[in-house]
């Protein structure tokens, strides 16, 4: 199937803050077909969560989609009235597993009650016995038994809590799931198990998955495409295997270099400096104050996207030079 399920064009999402605006998402474009997965990777504060919120049009009150268009299955959902979005799109077509959601489970409610309450909020038309069935079914999808229904969050391990949270996101059979750092609070073994489950589910249910993470090694487990985000922009985008084989942007290269390697004696590299303040990002290339390959031009001129292959581009003035 060649049709895009989701198409994001020229998206800019800004927050109003004292004395200005934080340009958290600043010109993002991508599209996703049914069953495809996109991994969005970048350091803390680069705008990953804001991008997720924007896709479901659920930006915090001091923020707004300032420009751009989000199309889901022929509908312009960025211009859709809130009531219609709630009724037709959020959770039913596109659900988001929020960052830190497992820590936000209510300690005073059983898992079953919280899941049913969530269903009642997002799909009030569903009757109680149907809701109970949906809860059982989605828990089973995440390999959780029905005994979990009567348990309280403190009775569950971290991995089980995270699976409950993912099950909640799947209850209404969405076509797209946005998972924001779904495994970052878990140890590596549990992390691998949950990623594996997500990947299997994605294949079985033909889900489109947007996985948001600061950890590049996680992306490689799940994604077909990778978007490397820096200071509100995608600075490199392409198929996972191409980016793995050949990183074209210095920041992507440094991200790869900073993955701990099990074998070999190379010392661990890190990215120098700190991410920029998005209220006043650097002029020219936003990465120039931290880039070991920066030249004068980088300080004054913003790079445009250079197309490397059909679906692969990067934003850097020095593409084509052998820098590393």
How many other C-beta atoms lie within 10 A of the C-beta of residue 62? Answer: 11
What mask of x and - would describe binding to ligand SF4 in positions 245 to 274, judged by CB under 6 A? ----xx------------------------
Q: What is the DSSP string of 199-250?
A: HHHHHHHT-EEEEEES-HHHHHHH-SEEEEEETTEEEEEEEHHHHHH---SH
**Pair 40, 55: CB distance under 8 Å:** no
Q: Which does 58 bind (CB under 5 to 8 A by kind): ligand SF4, ligand ATP, Mg ion, none?
A: none
Q: What are phi and psi of 34, to 5 degrees?
A: -60, 135
228 forms bridges with which residues in the sheet?
41, 236
**Options 27-35, 41-49, 100-108, 243-251: segment touching Mg ion (CB under 5 A):** 41-49
**Rule CB under 6 A: is residue 317 a binding residue for ligand SF4?**
yes
Q: In the structure encoding, which two tokens stand for residue 2, read together?
A: 């060649």
Q: CA-CA distance, 147 to 221, in Å (whole number)?
A: 30
Q: What is the DSSP string of 144-168?
A: --GGGGG--GGGS-HHHHHHHHHHH
What mask of x and - would describe binding to ligand SF4 in positions 82 to 121, judged by CB under 6 A? ----------------------------------------
**Rule CB under 6 A: is residue 288 a binding residue for ligand SF4?**
yes
E strands, 260-304, in order: none
**Rule CB under 5 A: is residue 114 a binding residue for Mg ion?**
no
Work out which of 176, 291, 308, 313 binds ligand SF4, going by CB under 6 A.
Answer: 291
**Rule CB under 5 A: is residue 49 a binding residue for Mg ion?**
yes
7 forms bridges with which residues in the sheet?
31, 71
Shortest reach from residue 252's CB to ligand SF4, in Å: 9
Q: What are phi and psi of 200, to 5 degrees?
A: -65, -45
Q: Which residues form the interface with ligand ATP (CB under 6 A)?
A: 15, 17, 22, 24, 42, 44-50, 60, 62-63, 99, 214, 278
Q: What are phi and psi of 231, to 5 degrees?
A: 50, 45
Q: What is the DSSP letter of 267?
A: P
**Options 121-129, 221-229, 261-269, 288-296: segment touching ligand SF4 (CB under 6 A):** 288-296
Between residues 5 and 223, which has the closer beta carbon with respect to Mg ion? 223
Between residues 215 and 224, which has the closer beta carbon with respect to ligand ATP? 215
Shortest reach from residue 248's CB to ligand SF4, in Å: 10
306 forms bridges with which residues in the sheet?
314
Between residues 15 and 225, which has the closer beta carbon with respect to ligand ATP? 15
H-helix segments, the chain: 48-55, 82-84, 111-122, 128-141, 158-170, 188-205, 216-222, 240-245, 250-257, 296-300
Q: Which does 22 bind (CB under 5 to 8 A by kind): ligand SF4, ligand ATP, Mg ion, none?
A: ligand ATP
**Rule CB under 6 A: is residue 298 a binding residue for ligand SF4?**
yes
Which residues contribute to the site for ligand SF4 (CB under 6 A)? 249-250, 285, 287-288, 291, 293-294, 298, 303, 316-318
């Amino acid at each position: 199937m060649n049709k895009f399920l989701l198409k994001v064009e020229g998206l800019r999402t800004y927050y109003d803050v004292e004395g200005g605006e934080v340009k958290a998402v600043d010109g993002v474009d991508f599209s996703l077909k049914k069953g495809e997965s996109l991994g969005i990777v970048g350091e803390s504060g680069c705008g990953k969560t804001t991008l997720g919120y924007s896709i479901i049009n659920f930006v915090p009150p001091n923020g707004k989609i300032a420009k751009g268009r989000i199309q889901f299955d022929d509908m312009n959902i960025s211009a859709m009235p809130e009531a219609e979005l709630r009724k037709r799109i959020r959770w039913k077509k596109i659900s988001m597993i929020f960052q830190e959601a497992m820590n936000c489970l209510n300690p005073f409610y059983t898992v079953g009650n919280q899941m049913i309450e969530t269903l009642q909020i997002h799909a009030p038309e569903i009757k109680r016995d149907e809701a109970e069935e949906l809860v059982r079914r989605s828990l089973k999808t995440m390999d959780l038994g029905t005994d979990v229904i009567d348990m309280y969050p403190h009775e569950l391990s971290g991995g089980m809590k995270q699976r409950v949270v993912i099950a909640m996101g799947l209850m209404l059979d969405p076509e797209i799931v946005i998972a924001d750092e779904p495994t970052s609070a878990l140890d590596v073994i549990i992390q691998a198990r949950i990623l594996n489950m997500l990947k299997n589910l994605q294949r079985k249910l033909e889900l489109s998955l947007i996985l948001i993470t600061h950890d590049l090694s996680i992306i490689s487990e799940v994604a077909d495409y990778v978007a490397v985000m820096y200071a509100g922009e995608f600075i490199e985008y392409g198929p996972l295997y191409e980016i793995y084989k050949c990183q074209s942007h210095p920041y992507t290269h440094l991200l790869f270099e900073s993955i701990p390697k099990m074998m070999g004696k190379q010392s661990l590299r890190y990215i120098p400096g700190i991410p920029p303040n998005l209220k006043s990002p650097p002029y020219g290339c936003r990465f120039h104050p931290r880039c070991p390959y920066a030249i004068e031009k980088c300080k004054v001129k913003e790079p445009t996207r250079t197309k490397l292959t059909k679906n692969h581009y990067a934003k850097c003035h020095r593409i084509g030079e052998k820098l590393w």
